[in-house]
């Protein structure tokens, strides 16, 4: 079982990362692989109620990889943590299968409370670098979270969100099933929703100014004609 898990994980890295040249390189040099494997140990200790050992094990993994995963968090199969430094996955977070997470991502809390307080991430989700997914929200299957987005509301399946706070992006190009978007960003000319709204306001303001100019142009006072210079008196 463990061998199958490791084989699938290494194969996924080879498929997603063109810089991975061999299985041995992935096994030895990819901190995301080390963090996920170490989490298997920490999670097993936590499940057997060896809570202190589980926390200490995850602390060592954080020190070695720069990736902090609480031992109680639930990770799906074939999770890729690319680069990895600064990733934080909280205690009640749940991640589905075939997800891709970049560095500086946080699956954290929106407010201190008991019970479920971290996100649930569906299958095939990509979360871009620096994104913050906060609170007991749900990110649907095959969703994309753009880099540096701050997500505090549910994200529907097959939806791309960007910005702070994150909003859905209107995709102009049709998506043919799940596909890989590096860093969770749109590959078309879709605008950030906030920028799109600002562009709309700017266009409306330009149109209003043009209308005002057309309405006031007949009422404009014609410029005064220059007076002729007085003639010099002969001495």
Q: Which sign, positive or negative, has the C-alpha torsion 134, 138, 142, 143?
A: negative
Residue 179 C-alpha from the chain's centroid: 16
**Domain segments of the chain as ranges:** 2-197
Share of the chain above pLDDT 90, in %: 57
Query: Can you tell me which residue has the tokens 């994309």?
Result: 144
Q: What is the distance between the alpha carbons of residues 107 and 88, in angstroms, rounded to a whole number?
A: 6
The predicted model scores a pTM of: 0.75
pLDDT tens digit sequence for 71-115? 999 999 999 999 989 999 999 999 999 999 999 999 999 887 778
Q: What is the mean pLDDT of residues 22-37?
A: 93
Length of the chain: 235
Q: What is the distance between the alpha carbons of residues 119 and 195, in angstroms, rounded to a whole number?
A: 27
When comparing pLDDT for 173 and 215, which is higher?
Answer: 215
pLDDT tens digit sequence for 208-221? 888 888 777 765 55
Query: How many other CB atoms are found less than 10 A from the CB of residue 200?
Result: 11
In the numeric block, which tokens belong to residue 163? 């910005």
Residue 32: the pLDDT is 94
- Fold of domain 2-197: UDP N-Acetylglucosamine Acyltransferase; domain 1 (2.160.10)
**Banded pLDDT at 173 (limits 50, 70, 90):** very low
Query: How many other CB atoms are found less than 10 A from the CB of residue 85?
Result: 11
Q: What is the mean pLDDT of residues 177-194?
A: 62
**Residue 163 class from Cβ within 10 Å (0-12 exposed, 13-18 middle, 19+ buried)?**
middle
Q: What is the distance between the alpha carbons of residues 194 and 161, in angstroms, rounded to a whole number?
A: 12
């Amino acid at each position: 079982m463990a061998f199958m898990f490791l084989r699938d994980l290494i194969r996924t890295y080879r498929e997603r990362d063109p810089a991975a040249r061999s299985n041995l390189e992935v096994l030895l040099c990819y901190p995301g692989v080390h963090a996920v494997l170490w989490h298997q140990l920490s999670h097993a200790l936590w499940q057997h109620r060896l809570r202190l050992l589980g926390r200490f094990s995850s602390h060592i993994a954080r020190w070695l990889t720069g990736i902090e995963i609480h031992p109680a968090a639930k990770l799906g199969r074939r999770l890729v943590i690319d680069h990895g430094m600064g990733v934080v996955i909280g205690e009640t977070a749940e991640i589905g299968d075939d997800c891709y997470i970049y560095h500086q991502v946080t699956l954290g809390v929106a407010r201190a409370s008991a019970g479920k307080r971290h996100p649930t991430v569906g299958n095939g989700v990509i979360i871009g670098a620096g994104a913050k997914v906060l609170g007991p929200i749900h990110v649907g299957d095959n969703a994309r979270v753009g880099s540096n987005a701050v997500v505090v509301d549910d994200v529907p399946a097959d939806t791309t969100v960007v910005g702070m706070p994150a909003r859905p992006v209107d995709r102009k190009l049709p998506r043919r099933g799940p596909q890989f978007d590096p860093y969770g960003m749109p590959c078309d000319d879709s605008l950030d929703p906030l920028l799109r709204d600002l562009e709309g306001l700017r266009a409306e303001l330009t149109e209003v100014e043009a209308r005002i100019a057309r309405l006031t142009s007949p009422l404009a006072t014609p410029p005064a004609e220059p007076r002729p210079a007085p003639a010099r008196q002969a001495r």
